[in-house]
Structure 1
Amino acid sequence: MTTAKRDSNTGTGTNAGTRRDTYTPETLLSVAVQVFNERGYDGTSMEHLSKAAGISKSSIYHHVSGKEELLRRAVSRALDELFGILDEEQARLGRPAERLEYVVRRMVEVLIAELPYVTLLLRVRGNTGTERWALDRRREFDHRVAEMVKEAAADGDVRGDIDAGLVTRLVFGMINSIVEWYRPDVRGMSEREVADAVAQLAFGGLRRAADGRG
């Protein structure tokens, strides 16, 4: 049986003479997100995180107060990226329908680019203060996009006979489902192709045009 030796300066260990890579707060966060997604946040202990990162629990506590801080950092990253979309020029200027389509496309791109973090955000259930905060922020984002739907409907550019909140939920449902099947190592299609498909379905529907095009 081999024994692991701990480097007290770096927090990294060696096993069978092989030294583990030095970790950083960023790589620790990445590992934590992976474990949270695999085991569920409630089912993850600091011991699980310690084993997955290959460092002692004390080394983790050197950087964060506990697993809830790791959760907050992770969901904050996803939320910051999503809210950042709304500040981009094409989301602020132009006709509401054009801005709305831009936001929908960018949501797909952000979801794929930040797949583990957005996946975790979508799985929070409100059992902790951080989770409740994340859910409130998600609702705020949903509300802001729903307002864009209302504006586009008022302009006559999108149908107005369906409640804007329902439209938002249905479109978000289509986008959020991507986390269940999209895998970066087995793409099958590019981020742009997925974004195009979502936008075409959301704004054009499945039915072909009467002239046979599309």
Structure 2
Amino acid sequence: MAMPKRDTYTPETLLAVAVEVFNERGYDGTSMEHLAHAAGISKSSIYHHVRGKEELLRRAISRALDGLFGILDEPPAREGRAVGRLEYVVRRSAEVLMRDLPYVTVLLRVRGNTDTERWALERRREFDHRVAELVKRAVADGDLRADVDPRLATRLLFGMVNSIAEWYRPERGGAAGCEEVADAVVVTAFAGLRT
């Protein structure tokens, strides 16, 4: 059976298809044949845009990580009391997760089986470390409880944020919108952490 010919693929649209397939089948369970079939193009057409499957994974993960690290450079994440900066980072992380849900989902599912996955895990640890520093600062300022280890608090905060990827589906017209979900995460998390 011949695949329909599509000449309109760009690296960005091909990436969107790859991310959909990675999330459906898992990265390890996805072959170039699966990607070609999903895109409706030949494998050689894919190779016209990228070197291979791992390049698509790196691009997907980079998009998610760029969104998260970009938050740390936004003025509200850099200025003011640490607790306010931390609340801002948590809120914006939830928003970025929902905005870039397919890409962040790929990031959250990496296991370290390839060079790209190991790079992604290292970058995630770096992000977590930077957030943990904000938690420590907020504890030192007396704004957050000192009886919860800052690294544990960071893991719990992002466990809550990351869990959104498991249930949030904007296309289903869910009861909660992006802003409402982000607000709920901040209110719920910081009610237990603030002094």
Aligned-pair CA distance for 1:21: 6.9
Q: Which residue of 2 aligns with 1:9?
A: none
User: In the alignment, which of 150, 157, 169 is matched to residue 164 of structure 1?
Assistant: 150
Structure 1 residue 139 and structure 2 residue 137: aligned? no
1:78-93 to 2 correspondence within 5 Å? 78-93=64-79
Q: Which residue of 2 aligns with 1:100?
A: 86
Question: Which structure has the larger Rg over C-alpha atoms?
Answer: 1
- What TM-score comes out, normalization by structure 2 length? 0.95
Q: Matched residues in 1 for 2:33 and 2:52: separation? A: 11
Listed as ranges, the gaps of 5+ residues in structure 1 are 6-11, 14-19, 207-214
C-alpha contact 2:10 2:49 (8 A) present in aligned 1 = no
Aligned-pair CA distance for 1:161: 1.0
Structure 1 residue 50 and structure 2 residue 48: aligned? no
Kindly provide the CA deviation profile for residues 38-94 of structure 1, in whole angstroms up to 9, marking residues without a partner as x: 000000000000000000100100111000000000000000000000000000000
User: In the alignment, which of 126, 129, 134 is matched to residue 148 of structure 1?
Assistant: 134
Q: How many residues align?
A: 192
Listed as ranges, the gaps of 5+ residues in structure 2 are none
Structure 1 residue 199 and structure 2 residue 182: aligned? no
Q: Matched residues in 2 for 1:22 and 1:63: separation? A: 12
Amino acid at match of 1:135: L
1:1-214 to 2 correspondence within 5 Å? 4=2, 13=5, 20=6, 22-186=8-172, 187-205=174-192
Q: Matched residues in 1 for 2:91 and 2:7: separation? A: 37
After the TM superposition, list the runs of 4 or more consecutive aligned residues in structure 1 that deviate by more than 6 angstroms: none
Aligned-pair CA distance for 1:24: 1.3
The SS at the match of 1:195 is helix
Kindly provide the CA deviation profile for residues 157-214 of structure 1, in whole angstroms up to 9, marking residues without a partner as x: 01111110000001110110000000011221111100110000111149xxxxxxxx
* Greater relative contact order (Cα < 8 A, sep 6+): 2
Q: Matched residues in 1 for 2:22 and 2:77: separation? A: 32
CA RMSD of aligned residues (A): 1.4
Q: Matched residues in 1 for 2:187 and 2:81: separation? A: 18
